[in-house]
Amino acid sequence: MRFGLTLPNRGVLFGVTTPELMLRMAETADASDVFQSVWVGDSLLGKPRMESIALLSGIAARTSRVRLGPACMASFPLRDPVLLAYQWASLDLLAQGRTVLVVCTGIIPQAGGRIEGELYGLERRDRVQRMLEWIELVKRLWTEDDVTYEGRHYRCEGISIDPKPARKPRPPIWIANNPPPGDQEAIRRTLRRIVRHADGWETSLWEPRDVGWRMAELRRIAEVEGRDPASIETHLYHNINVNPDRAAAIAESKRFLDTYYTTDYSPESVAGWTACGSVAECIEHLRVYRELGFDEVTLRMTSWDQFGQLDCVMNEVLPALAD
C-alpha cells in the first residue's frame, strides 16, 4: 500500500499553516521514500481555502517525483470545463505528467454550497450530470482536436486546447464519493459511475465493514461491466495524529476537524476517520486498510504541529506499513 500527504490548504485561514510551510512539506514528502503523492483540498465558497490549481502549480515547481492532485475537486461542476481542461493541461506540463484529477459533485451541507449554486446557476439535482459531462468533455479535449460536444449542460463546436497534457494519453481522472450507508442501490449507482467513467475511486469513509463491502462491490460491478477491477485505483482519504496520549490526539484532531469544516464531529467519528495515538496504535489503525486492499492512503495531519507530525509519521509510522 502506498501513502500520500494531504496538505491543509484551508488551514491558512486559522493559523495551522502558511503557503511556504505547505510547499516545504511537499518538498519533504517528495524527498522521502515513503510518500508517493501530495494532495490539496478544493472548494470555492462552500469551504474557502487557497485555490487548488494555483497551489498545485507551486508544488509542481518544487517537486519532481510525487504525484499531485486535489483530494477532491469539489468545484469541478462549477468550473468551465474547457478552461479547466486548459488549466489542467498546463499544470500537468509543469508537473511533467505527474497529475491526477480527482473530481466529485461538490454537494455539501454548509450554506456555502447553496451560495455557490446560486452564483453559478447550478441546481443541486444537476451536479451529478454536470460532473459526468465535464469528465467526458475534459477527456476529449486532452486527447482530440476540433472537439464538438452536445450535452445537456454544455455545448461547444470545433474546440482544441494546446498544449495538451504531458501524460499520454491523458492524466487519470478519479471520482470521489461517500454516499452514507443504508441505501445499497444508491451506493451501487455511484460505484457504477466510477467503473464507467473514471480511472479510480477515492473515499473518506472509514468504517472497515462498510468500506470493505464497497470495495467488493466495486470489483464485482467492474467484472459485470467487462472491466478489469485492477485497472481502477482505490484511494482512501484519511487523517493522522500521533501522540502517546490517545485521548489528547483525539481531542486535538476533533478541534482541528471542527474548525476546518465548521461542524461538530463526535469523538467516535474523529477516532474512526483518524489514526490517533501512539506510533503502534497508528500503525495498527492503518494496517486495517491495507488488509482491505486499498492501493493508497493519503494522510492529513490533524494537528497544529504540522512538521512535527510529518516527521513522526514519515520516520516512525509509515516505514512499518509501506510495501
**DSSP letter (8 states) at residue 54:** H
E-state strands within the chain: 2-7, 37-40, 67-70, 101-103, 147-150, 155-159, 173-176, 200-203, 233-242, 274-277, 296-301
> Taking the chain, what is the end-to-end CA distance rounded to the nearest angstrom?
6
Q: What confidence score (pLDDT) does residue 6 get?
A: 99
In a domain, 79, yes or no: no
Grid coordinates in use for 175? 471520482
Q: What confidence score (pLDDT) does residue 231 get?
A: 98
CA distances from residue 47 to 58, 62, 73, 265 in whole angstroms, order as listed: 21, 26, 12, 16
pTM score, whole prediction = 0.96
SS3 236: strand
Q: What confidence score (pLDDT) does residue 122 get?
A: 79
Q: Which domain holds residue 265?
A: 1-35+240-323
φ, ψ for residue 159, nearest 5 deg: -95, 135
In a domain, 96, yes or no: no
> What is the per-residue pLDDT across 25-51, written as a single tens digit (0 to 9) for each?
999 999 999 999 999 999 988 889 999
In a domain, 204, yes or no: no
Structural domains counted in the chain: 1
In a domain, 211, yes or no: no
Grid coordinates in use for 95? 508537473
SS3 266: coil
- Residue in this structure with the C-alpha cell 443504508, named with its chain if needed: 182
In a domain, 93, yes or no: no
pLDDT < 70 stretches in the chain:
107-113, 323
In a domain, 292, yes or no: yes
- Residue in this structure with the C-alpha cell 508517493, named with its chain if needed: 36
In a domain, 284, yes or no: yes
In a domain, 123, yes or no: no
φ, ψ for residue 242, nearest 5 deg: -95, 125
Q: What confidence score (pLDDT) does residue 123 get?
A: 79
Please state, rounded to an integer, the average pLDDT across all residues of the chain.
Answer: 95
